[in-house]
């Protein structure tokens, strides 16, 4: 199945699951207000109008349900996957949703009867599993198989056709049937048309290297006149980490090679989370700002804030703000401490840096010096989660250009390196490896996990320099 088709079906599944969890919440309430059920569970009898006070919980539950199930890999499977591939991620997702409902009622001081969260999780599990079983039955029916099966002709050179045929057989894609094979070396595009007529195929899967571009063009034109689809296997360039997507620029078809997360609703949510998260955190920490500013001002001469040019998205310089934790001439005497550098590569790090003031040590230990960077996030120069921004001069000293790939996303206040105990990592390659691991596996769920792990790391001081 094409990725486009998978995305459409996944979105349909997510919408259906969101509605089923909304129905589960209503059913949980209806069951809880039933006097017989309350008596059987030895719980207090409640009034049905209590539902009116918490009906708005349905909206965040509908939004959260598909996100939670996706985080558990629930949608990364075929319709006919084993029941184990369905039950285990569904169980974990429903468990998370149950605890989330309980936490929301506690956090927002909502009066939700005891037992509703448990009933909600159970009903959600049963309804979604029932939906999956019905889809399984429907997918196995002869009607569904006849409607979904598509006949294709494999076109290319002998070696590439054989390789693609083996891959299709290994994937066991029941929706694709190979009706014939067509060798570009032996026959021309004009001989393909009668074969299309004879076999009544849905389309042509074209797998040919760049040496056969002229033949490829003739095949595409012939299929264009016949009204059949052409699926061009675009692997003529031997990329290793790039993900390919198709797009269009003013009517020109494009094949995009991308190593960074592509634009999606998740990336949009990340931007909103950055802006409103930074705004709220700035307001909440404003009293702490005033206290820290006063302490710095009265304990050491110099400015309250430290400003430095850092490399942002794609290497664009921006001014990073921190509370000053060093003496005012720290940058001027940095070269004198070069022999004490504990970090391999272009990055400078000294555990007991003599330039750090007594107050600065405390601020660094609990990452309080990073608080002004919420302003950088609010201005759009940084994100809450992302690779830590390095000074411009350190980026210029990269001896491996592959390290610049960490600049392909917006830098952040916290990252995998931060929550992995940055004081224990002394090899710059390990630092870069964690950043690239974050970029290659990015998801909104990963950002949330890093944010949650940052909280105990900050309070314990384990992420301190």
Tens digit of each residue's pLDDT (9 = 90 or more) over 193-226: 888 888 888 888 887 765 567 778 888 888 887 7
CB distance 386 to 360 below 8 Å:
no
Answer yes or no: is 250 within a domain: no
Q: Indicate the pairing of strand 252-258 with strand 243-249.
A: antiparallel
Structure letter (DSSP) for residue 305: E
Residues 154 and 91 in one domain: no
Domain of 183, in residue numbers? 149-236
Answer yes or no: is 353 within a domain: yes
Answer yes or no: is 465 within a domain: no
Q: Which residues of the chain have pLDDT under 50?
A: 465
Residues 376 and 289 in one domain: yes
Domain boundary residue, one of 108, 142, 176:
142
The CATH number given to whatever domain includes residue 194 is: 3.40.50.280
Residues 442 and 348 in one domain: yes
Residues 187 and 137 in one domain: no
Answer yes or no: is 249 within a domain: no
C-alpha distances out from residue 269 to 256, 417, 452, Å: 23, 23, 17
Name the domain count of the chain. 3
Answer yes or no: is 243 within a domain: no
pLDDT at 227: 84
Residues 89 and 177 in one domain: no
Residues 387 and 342 in one domain: yes
Count Cβ neighbours within 10 Å for each residue of 21-45 and write b for 16 or more, e otherwise: bbebbebbbebbbeeeebeeeeeee
pLDDT at 170: 78
Residues 154 and 133 in one domain: no
CB distance 152 to 201 below 8 Å:
yes
Q: Indicate the pairing of strand 150-156 with strand 412-414.
A: unpaired
Residues 67 and 174 in one domain: no
pTM above 0.75, yes or no: no
Domain boundary residue, one of 112, 142, 172:
142
Residues 223 and 106 in one domain: no
DSSP per residue, 123-175: HHHHHHHHHHHHHHHHHHSHHHHHHH-EEEEEEE-HHHHHHHHHHHHHHT-TT
Helix (H) or strand (E) holding 370: none
Residues 314 and 446 in one domain: yes
Answer yes or no: is 242 within a domain: no
Domain boundary residue, one of 142, 167, 198:
142
CA 106 to CA 115: how far, in whole Å? 14
pLDDT at 465: 47
pLDDT tens digit string along 372-427?
Answer: 999 999 999 999 999 999 999 888 888 777 788 888 889 999 988 878 765 566 67
Q: Is 18 helix (H, G, I), strand (E, B) or coil?
A: helix
């Amino acid at each position: 199945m094409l990725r486009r088709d998978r995305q459409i079906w996944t979105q349909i599944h997510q919408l259906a699951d969101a509605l089923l969890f909304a129905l589960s919440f209503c059913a949980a309430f209806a069951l809880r207000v039933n006097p017989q059920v309350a008596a059987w569970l030895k719980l207090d009898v409640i009034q049905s109008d209590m539902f009116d006070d918490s009906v708005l919980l349905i909206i965040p539950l509908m939004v959260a349900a598909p996100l939670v199930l996706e985080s558990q890999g629930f949608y990364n499977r075929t319709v006919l996957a084993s029941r184990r591939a369905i039950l285990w991620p569904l169980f974990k997702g429903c468990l998370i949703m149950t605890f989330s409902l309980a936490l929301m009622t506690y956090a927002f001081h909502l009066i939700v009867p005891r037992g509703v969260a448990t009933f909600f999780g159970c009903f959600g599990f049963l309804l979604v599993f029932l939906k999956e079983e019905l889809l399984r039955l429907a997918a196995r029916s002869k009607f569904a198989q006849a409607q979904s099966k598509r006949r294709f002709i494999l076109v290319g050179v002998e070696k590439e056709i054989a390789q693609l045929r083996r891959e299709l057989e290994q994937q066991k894609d029941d929706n694709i049937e190979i009706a014939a094979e067509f060798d570009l070396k032996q026959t021309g595009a004009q001989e393909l048309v009668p074969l299309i007529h004879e076999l009544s195929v849905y389309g042509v899967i074209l797998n040919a290297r760049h040496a056969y571009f002229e033949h490829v063009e003739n095949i595409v034109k012939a299929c264009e006149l016949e009204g059949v689809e052409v699926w061009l296997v675009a692997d003529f360039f031997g990329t290793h980490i790039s993900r390919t997507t198709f797009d269009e620029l003013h009517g020109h078809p494009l094949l995009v090679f991308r190593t960074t997360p592509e634009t999606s609703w998740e990336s949009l949510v990340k931007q909103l989370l950055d802006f409103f998260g930074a705004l709220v955190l700035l307001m909440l920490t404003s009293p702490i700002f005033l206290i820290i500013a006063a302490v710095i001002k009265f304990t050491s001469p110099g400015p309250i804030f430290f400003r430095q040019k850092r490399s942002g998205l794609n290497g664009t310089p921006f001014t990073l703000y921190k509370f000053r934790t060093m003496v005012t001439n720290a940058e001027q005497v940095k070269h004198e401490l070069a022999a004490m550098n504990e970090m391999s590569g272009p990055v400078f790090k000294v555990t007991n840096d003599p330039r750090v003031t007594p107050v600065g040590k405390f601020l660094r230990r609990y990452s309080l010096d990073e608080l002004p960077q919420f302003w950088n996030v609010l201005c759009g120069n940084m994100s809450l989660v992302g690779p830590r921004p390095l000074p411009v001069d350190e980026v210029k000293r990269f001896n491996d250009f592959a390290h610049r790939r960490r600049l392909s996303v917006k830098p952040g206040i916290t990252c995998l390196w931060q929550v992995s105990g940055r004081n224990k990592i002394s090899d710059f390659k390990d630092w870069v490896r964690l950043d690239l691991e974050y970029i290659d596996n990015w998801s909104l769920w990963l950002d949330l996990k890093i944010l949650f792990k940052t909280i105990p790391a900050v309070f314990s001081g384990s992420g301190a320099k």
